[in-house]
Structures are given as structure tokens and as C-alpha cells.
Chain A
């Protein structure tokens, strides 16, 4: 298996632009998580899905953030409009039932100027 695949690896954009981050989980994993990592806040959970259904989005910082999982092999995290404080590394992770063992993607480093 190729593992969890994220794209893009790096994104530099200007304030106000729309940003879309993408994730392909490991086949057969039915949990998908989006985490954000910053120096100030560490690793924080934004949202997670079970069987393509969003279960808890309480970690999504604002209405500017949205996430979808249209099928078992694809998820997106969208920021519109982006702001400099959104600069961070965004990780996608997937797991089998019970979330016992998370497998992370390589992350998407976002810089908003």
C-alpha cells in the first residue's frame, strides 16, 4: 500500500485566496482525520470522518474552513478565504475501526502571505 497520500506537499498563496488540500486514505481504513500542526498549538484535531460521514468538526477553527469526503478514497480540506494565521502543516491520517493505530500522510505545508 502506498500509505496516506496528501497533496500538495507545499502551498504558498496570498491572503484571500482559496486553498484546497487533498487526501487519499489507506484502502480499507474507515476513519479519516485532519490535523493541523503549529508551533503555538501543537497538533490539533480539526475534523474526523467515519465511513465518509463527518462525525465531529468542533476543531474546525472558523466557517472559512470546510472538509468533505465524497467517497472512501478521497477527502478535501478547503480554506476560503485564507489568512496568514492559517499558515501551518496540515496532516491527514487514517485508521481502521477503533482508531487504534493512526497512519499519517506526509503533510501539506501551507504558507499564506
Chain B
């Protein structure tokens, strides 16, 4: 199956700082999603981004499918950005069924 690795595993920021989270995957994918799990455990879909760049407010994501990685940018971080960020890719070539990385745990201090 397709392997997915996220980095860094942990990140601590001061409010207002910018950050970049990375997701590497081992094979070409037709589906890539970024999720945020807030401190209460809720998983929220941030982006569906198999290729290209998307932006939503202070968050943006870029997937370079040919080089098998995706980046999630958080600008002017806020305490509400704290939580775990997951990347999900298909578990095997030709599949759409998502398998999740281990996530990046982000803490934003006021």
C-alpha cells in the first residue's frame, strides 16, 4: 500500500507565527486530503487537494503530485489552530479509500 509520512511530528509556535507542515507519500495518488483534529477530538476536513494549490483564509495547501508531497501552510497562527493535522491519501494505487498519516501535533501559545 501507499505509505504516508508527516513532518514534523510536533510543532510549538507563538501566536502570530507562520508554519509549514509536510506530507510525503510513496506513490502517485488521485486523492489527498488534509484534516484538523481539534483538542476536543473533532476531525474537520480542511482541503481536498490531489494537485495544485488551494487557499482558505489563513490556511493554504499545495500538492506536487509528481514529486509525491503536499504542504500545508498556516499563516499568522492563532491558539484555535492548535490540534493535530492529518494528511490522508489512498491506501493503494487506483483506490480512493483514505489512509491516514500519524499527524503533526501543533500547539500555539498566546
Contact = CB atoms under 8 A, between A and B. Distances in A.
Interface of A: 33, 35, 42-45, 48, 56, 89, 91, 93, 98-104, 106-107, 109
A45 B97 contact: yes
B99 A106 contact: no
A104 B97 contact: no
Given A89-B41, A104-B42, 11 more contacts: A43-B86, A44-B100, A45-B98, A45-B99, A98-B96, A102-B35, A103-B45, A104-B43, A104-B45, A107-B41, A109-B41
Given A56-B97, A106-B41, A106-B42, A100 B102 contact: no
Given A43-B86, A48-B97, A102 B42 contact: no
B107 to A, nearest CB: 17
Contacts of A91: 43
A99 B97 contact: yes
Nearest to A98: B96
Contacts of A107: 41-43
A102 B98 CA distance: 9
Interface residues of B, number: 20
B31 interface: yes
Contacts of A101: 33, 45, 48
A86 to B, nearest CB: 18
A106 to B, nearest CB: 6
B47 to A, nearest CB: 9
Interface string B72-103: 00000000000000101001000011111111
Given A98-B31, A99-B31, A100-B48, A43 B42 contact: no
8 contacts: A42-B102, A43-B86, A93-B43, A101-B45, A102-B35, A103-B45, A104-B42, A106-B42
